[in-house]
Chains A and B, each alone.
Chain A
Amino acid sequence: MMQLYLKYAAIILKGRMQDKASFFFGILGQALASLSSFFAVYFIFYRFKTVKGFSFSEVLLCFSLSLISFSFAECFARGFDRFAVFISDGTFDRMLVRPRNTVFQVAASTMEFSRIGRFIEAAIVFIYALSTCGISFSAGRIAALAMMFAGSCALFSGMFVLYAALCFFTLEGLEFINIFTDGAREFGEYPLAVYGKRVLKFCTFVIPYALVQYYPFLYVTGRSSRAWYILLPLAGIVFLLPCYVFWRFGLRHYVSTGS
């Protein structure tokens, strides 16, 4: 399966590199996007210095982790973000005629290598944040960071699959999912508590953003000593299950009603 995925990647990469200028612009564009996000945080902190007790470096840690996980998830899940196009131009029908799992085909269909720019960018900020945040890293805290990464990746991927599954039912009016994908990335740059109690509650009980980002982060920064917070990001991985189930449900609906 992995081998096949790599073959897909090779053919897409080869296609992209046909237009070298475009390929380069894309990477540059994505890198600049990450840079812009960084400057946004920097400019705001330039004036305000702290927010809800979190320092600039601490927020940078949160910021870079959100960006790293999102770019990583996007590498694999970008096809789901473009799924509306696949349905409307018949590409998905073509996938149905091939003897491979549809989720796999959608994931393998689109890889945006330009996103590497974002990933590297975020990684650099992450390393910088690690070195300036003044946190002493125990094994537990490192584990928490790793879990946050895994959980966030899973959660973002799940949201992408959810969006694509909705495309089986309608192609219109799905823009609001943007709040949960790009929005989660943008607003996830800051520890979720800054948005107030209600948002935090929503992100704890409805879509587990707080479980992969906020609570483990409290543990990492020493604001909480509850070690079981390290395990909370598992909720992100568990979240994938209902998303996949919904995808299967949507697929059944799609083949019954036609395009």
Chain B
Amino acid sequence: MRCAAAGVLLMWAGCVHGEVQIHGFLMGNLAVRTTGERPPRGEGGAFVLGEERLRLDLSGAAASGRVSFLVKGDLFHDAVSNRVDGDLREAYAGFRGGPLDLRLGRQIVTWGAGDLFFINDVFPKDWESFFSGRPMEYLKRGVDAVRAQYSSPAVNLDLVATPFFRADALPSPKRFFLYDPFAGIASRQERKPPARAANTEVALRLSRRLAGFDLSLYGYRGYWRMPAASVESEVPAVVRFYPRLLVWGASAQRNWLAGVVSLEAGRYGSRDDRRGANPAIPNSEWRMLAGYQRQLAADLTGNVQFYAEIVDQSPPLSAAAGDRFRGILSARLTQFLRYQSWRLSLFLAYSPTGEDFFLQPEISHRLTDRFSVAAGANIFAGRRETTFFGRMRKSDNVYISARADF
């Protein structure tokens, strides 16, 4: 079905006599757990990731610029589970007329002001990719959506309507050590919101420039991307489901003290459990972020952030007290060396409330314009298994990747 859609796009692209470009890359990724431990019923032995990927990227546009298309997909062999599969990253057609831009199809949408902390960017993420060392672009998953953008000096309006729900891809228990409150129940089911017109997710962004600020207001009516879980006692089975969610928020960025300051906040309204009475459903909460980025020296950039979540009522299932408030401090340093052919980066996130941290050092080297290699590590630590990074502490891994562009 999707291949057919891509084929139609290609033929249509041929019809408009635009310039069609074909590019892509070959990439190998390997990640190995360094803790010596293996998840129960895990796959791949010590390996978290072992894969070869072929990316094909076709794009084109009519000379008038009114119509354009992009198809971007990966064919990959996953050596850990020994399967060959495909991943359609993006496939959309674009139309431009006057102040309007329209995009139909699978597309990656990213907005908001945070570095790895997402408040108003409610679009699906692939955290398993991120924590197993795949390049950053794989953190974002495409949505099958219609996107309309209206641009004017007064205000820019960006609307994304998604009829087909796509969840976050969370680290799999076959490759990561996860905290499972229902460990005793083997039977698992997943209930995604059915694809009905009434279930269409709508994300909206209004933006403009004001007094040197890039200001945005956001709204989202859809679903939590991370599943809630409840036990159906008759079977018994753990049912994972995606409760309804309403988000309102804002972000602002501007130059400040020789750097860039970022502020973002959002109100997460849990529409299926407004009063926080149902322990299976996440409570409503506030999320906020303040960040500051600055160049510290030639080719060295630093970024610090403080991110906080304040939950309306304590999560009843939580083992730890004081979980109403979760704060995380993060810092990123990026250094380029030797005419930017070497890149060193370090990302550190530390939560004083959870007493847990995450560290991701990475070194990458561009040998030629076509060939690059990278190596890095994902290191987790925490005192308790219930915290976000603490539960990942047995999943420390190191990764390497090599990529050839064409």
Query: Does B associate with A?
Result: no
Interface residues of B (CB under 8 A from A): none
Interface residues of A (CB under 8 A from B): none
